[in-house]
A and B are shown apart, each in its own frame.
Chain A
Amino acid sequence: MANNNQEEKLHATNHYLYYPDEENLPPYLAYGFRPIFLLLAPYLVISMILWGFVWSGFIHIPFMDNPIQWHVYEMIFGILTAGVMAFLTTGLPELFPGMVPFVGKRLKYIMILWIAGRVSFWFIDITGVYLTAILNLAMLGWLIWFAKDAVLDKLQRHASIGYTLVTLFVIESWFFSSVLGWSTTNSMDILKVALGANVVLILLAMRRVNMEAVNELMEDKEIDDTYISRPPLTNLAIFCVSLFTIVEFYYPHNSALGWIGLGTGAAILAITSDYNLKDKFILNQPFVIYFYSIYILFFIGYGLMGWDILLGEPYDINSFRHFITAGGLSIAYLMVMVTIGWIHTGRHLTSNIYTHLMVFFIILASSMRGLIPFFQEYSAQLYLWSALLWTIPFILYIKVFFKFLLSPRADGVKG
């Protein structure tokens, strides 16, 4: 049985071999991605509106007197765990066909852990850093334990993702030890390192999501060609991102870092050259454009950061960083939510006006946030409006996908 399976192409249409027989499984607990997307979309909407109000000065939330640091923390780690959870619980049973999907009661407990992590975060002034640290590290730790098969796999096909997660765990622990005063490193600097590791993780994950989704799409539309995302290009981009992250940690204003930033942008953009297929033209396919925009936004982010460092003071680098976070990373998460939302609820990968608008509003919102240095006089409005516009894609997600997530698969398959 296992032999047969290895010869099959590992497309997203393939399923697990075994499905656990737990009785009375509600649809929202039938597969790993379902509850987390049901929680993540509203959470993103509500929390971003709150942040928008905080930055434009309408409300004040006392985050241990350092709201920026905690904003960055939550946007990186809080959302990371949700995205990774969906990615792993959905992807691993496919990549390793012997694996049993993670569903039901155990899934519910993990979801409660994630929710507890969020609650402890927003009430950190009351519940304390220790509780937040323990709950959030436990969540990431569980994900690593869950992904252990990928790391221990003899062929090491997907081990890089596991190692990156372990790195992120170390970085998150380092961050908390800095906040608690055990480590003297500036906690904001640690978060920048975390962002670098996060981008690496996304590049690794997107290479796989991309290949599955684009090839599936081409099969659907009977475009006779194969899209292969070549590892050397991704590896070059990962090398550049890592180099940028490390050099930024030690020498944040060094002019060499500026050139590395420009190089990193170029290396990330180089990944898109794989979309130029040998025979067929696919750059007019909406999903290809969506995936493409992730790399374009990363390119703009790293490019502008590099350019800013080369120009010298005043440094607007953190605004430009939002092209990476609010832009590229957000579309990457959104794409994971959308592709899984279609395919793994038993539907074809479809693009429509809603998916167009989702991507459009993220590009618009991240551009508004990222370009604030050029429009200083409107900064208060831009802070607020970029945050509000950024939530629209997730509101649309709720509208389009929640009914799928709350009902059984359309094709009758379990999960």
Chain B
Amino acid sequence: MKFLFKILKDFPAYLWSGWGAMASTLLFIAFWDLGNQVYGNLVLPSPLETFKTLYTMLQDKDVWEQIDITLYRASVGFGLSMLFGSILGLIAGFFATASMMSRPIVTILVGMPPIAWIVLAMIWFGMGDETVIFTVVVASFPIVFVGALQGTRTLDGDLKEMAESFDFPWHMKFFDVYFPHIFSYIFPAWVSGLGMAWKIVIMAELLATSDGMGAELAIARSQLDTPTALALVTIMITSLMFIEYIILEPIKREVELWRA
């Protein structure tokens, strides 16, 4: 509770410190505008035109439905990998044998390009939700798994011993000794897993489904409708930035504070 209160208290100052990021984003948009002036509207529409397209798109109910579909797939996929990745990672971390064994498997999972997973998933599940969700899970599961594994592997032996010798009850041992440490590893892993999920969901949709934002992107591509394509990209990036910087980053800061 105190933790939550502190995050909320620091939030305005944190939000205000985002003006620097805003400045560099705007400079980036200026650079984009320059690209438009050099290569023309067909190749790269101007930022202003893109934002205008975006504005009209957001008036359309259908677009919101597509966003909803994508959001559903990403959340289910990420939720599954968060759940299983964390649990399995924690378990693997507690047993040296398990962690040794899991290493090469994680390497295989990470090393396999997502696009190859999509092809396999399309054969296994056909064109639909399952394919997308499966791809998201395989892509972000290893990230979460490794984070959880690291968290438990790096637990300080002395602290463990201290907790043992004081004979703490199990809940105290868990919440006051193990949890802050593990959480400071696992939480950043969730954040990067989420980023991965958000990217993969679009890619999988583009190749394997007829609805969702990825599919919209595919339609925009086939019609050479660059403003719409860029507007869609803008939606994806803004939503990711919102989740990452407004929701997760303040928590992450608090979590990692004690490590510094």
Check A273/B17 contact, CB under 8 A, given A255-B48, A256-B34, A259-B29: yes
**Considering the complex, which residues of chain A in the window 138-167 have a beta carbon less than 8 Å from any beta carbon of chain B?**
none
CB-contact partner of B20 in A255, A257, A260, A267, under 8 A: A267
Using Cβ atoms and an 8 Å threshold, which residues of chain A touch B26?
259-260, 262-263, 266
Those of B20-54 within 8 Å (CB) of chain A: 20, 22-27, 29-31, 33-34, 37, 46-48
B19, CB-defined interface residue at 8 Å: yes
* B48–A266 CB distance below 8 A: no
Q: Does A236 contact B (CB under 8 A)?
A: yes
Q: Please tell me if B170 contacts chain A, counting CB pairs below 8 Å.
A: no
Is B23 within 8 A of A266, CB to CB? yes
A270 to B23, CA, bound (A): 8
Q: Which of A240, A256, A258, A270 counts the most chain B CB atoms within 10 A?
A: A256
Knowing A255-B33, A256-B33, A276-B16 touch, does A264 contact B23 (C-beta < 8 A)?
yes
For the complex formed, measure the closest distance between the CB of A247 and the CB atoms of chain B, giving whole angstroms: 8
List the A side residues contacting B12 at CB < 8 Å. Answer: 276
Number of interface residues of B (CB under 8 A): 21
- What A residues does B22 contact at CB under 8 A? 263, 266, 270
Residues of the A chain whose Cβ atoms lie less than 8 Å from the Cβ of B23: 236-237, 240, 263-264, 266-267, 270
Contact of B37 with A266 in the complex, beta carbons under 8 Å: no
Inter-chain residue pair count (beta carbon < 8 A)? 66
Tell whether B13 is near chain A: CB-to-CB under 8 Å.
Answer: yes
Enumerate chain B residues within 8 angstroms of A54, measured Cβ to Cβ.
Answer: none
The CA-CA distance from A270 to B37 in the complex, in Å, is 29
Contacting pair B19 A255 (CB below 8 A): no
Contact A276 B13 (CB under 8 A): yes
CA gap between A230 and B31 in the complex, in Å? 26
Chain B neighbourhood of A254, CB < 8 A: 37
Residue A269 at the chain B interface, CB threshold 8 Å = yes
Please state if A259 and B20 are interface contacts (CB–CB under 8 Å): no
Once the chains are docked, how many angstroms separate the CA of A270 from the CA of B48? 24
Bound state CA distance, A188 and B153, in angstroms?
Answer: 67
Write out the residue numbers on chain B whose beta carbons fall within 8 Å of the beta carbon of A257.
30
Q: Tell me if A273 and B19 are in contact (CB < 8 A).
A: yes
Chain A residues within an 8 Å CB radius of B30: 256-260, 263
Closest to B31 in A: A256
Q: Let me know if A233 is at the binding interface, CB within 8 A.
A: yes
Are A259 and B17 in touch, CB under 8 angstroms? Answer: no
In the bound complex, CA of A319 to CA of B23 (Å): 23
Residues of B within 8 A of A270 (CB): 17, 19-20, 22-23
- Interface set, chain A 254-307, CB cutoff 8 A to B: 254-260, 262-264, 266-267, 269-270, 272-273, 276
Cross-chain contact B27 with A260 (CB below 8 angstroms) = yes
> Which of the residues A255, A262, A267, A272 comes within 8 Å of B16, measured between beta carbons?
A272
Bound CA–CA A266/B26 (angstroms): 8
Closest to A310 in B: B48
* Interface mask (A238-259 → B, CB under 8 Å = 1, otherwise 0): 0010010000000000111111
A310: chain B residues at CB < 8 Å are 48
Residues from chain B with Cβ under 8 Å of A272 in the complex: 16, 19
For A240, give the chain B residue with the smallest CB separation.
B23
In the complex, chain A residues 211-237 whose Cβ is within 8 Å of any chain B Cβ: 233, 236-237
* CB-nearest residue of chain B to A306: B26
Complex: A256 Cα to B47 Cα, angstroms: 9
Mark each residue of chain A from 63 to 79: 1 if its CB lies under 8 Å from any CB of chain B, else 0.
00000000000000000
Write out, one digit per residue, whether chain B residues 46-64 have a CB within 8 A of any chain A CB (1) or not (0).
1110000000000000000
Do A273 and B33 touch (CB < 8 A)? no
Task: Decide if A255 touches B46 in the complex (CB within 8 Å).
Answer: yes
The chain B residues found within 8 Å of chain A, CB to CB, are 12-13, 16-17, 19-20, 22-27, 29-31, 33-34, 37, 46-48
List 6 tightest A-B contacts by C-beta distance, closest first: A263-B26, A267-B23, A259-B30, A270-B19, A276-B13, A270-B20
**28 intermolecular pairs with C-beta atoms under 8 Å apart:** A236-B20, A236-B23, A237-B23, A240-B23, A243-B27, A256-B30, A256-B31, A256-B33, A257-B30, A258-B33, A259-B27, A260-B30, A263-B22, A263-B26, A263-B27, A263-B29, A263-B30, A266-B23, A266-B26, A267-B23, A270-B20, A270-B22, A273-B17, A273-B20, A276-B12, A276-B13, A276-B17, A310-B48
Additional 11 contacts, C-beta under 8 A, given A258-B33, A270-B20:
A233-B20, A236-B24, A255-B33, A256-B34, A259-B27, A259-B29, A259-B47, A263-B23, A266-B20, A272-B19, A276-B16
